């Protein structure tokens, strides 16, 4: 159940929010929000969003050890 939900979320992020079509963009994902109540970092790319996206893909592919 949780694995299927994670897969659906990652596919959605990949298809709708990834920067694959923007080669000059420095991040992986678009349209993140850091602190909406303060209108701070709204509709931006966030490094920790990219990190958790990549980590989730790695974990779904049976990655279990840190590489650094």
Q: For 2-60, what is each residue's pLDDT tens digit?
A: 999 999 999 999 999 999 999 999 999 999 999 999 999 999 999 999 999 999 999 89
3's tokens? 């694995």
Distance CA 31, CA 15 (A): 13
Can you give the residue ranges of every domain in the chain?
2-60
Q: Is residue 38 packed enough to be buried (19+ CB in 10 Å), middle (13-18) or exposed (0-12)? A: exposed
pLDDT of 67 above 70: no
pLDDT of 64 above 80: no
* The length of the chain, given as a count of residues: 68
15's tokens? 């298809």
Distance CA 3, CA 26 (A): 29
């Amino acid at each position: 159940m949780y694995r299927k939900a994670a897969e659906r979320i990652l596919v959605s992020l990949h298809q709708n929010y990834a920067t694959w079509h923007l080669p000059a963009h420095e991040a992986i994902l678009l349209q993140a929000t850091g602190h909406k109540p303060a209108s701070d970092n709204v509709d931006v790319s966030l490094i920790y969003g990219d990190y958790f996206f990549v980590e989730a893909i790695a974990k779904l592919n049976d990655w279990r050890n840190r590489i650094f």
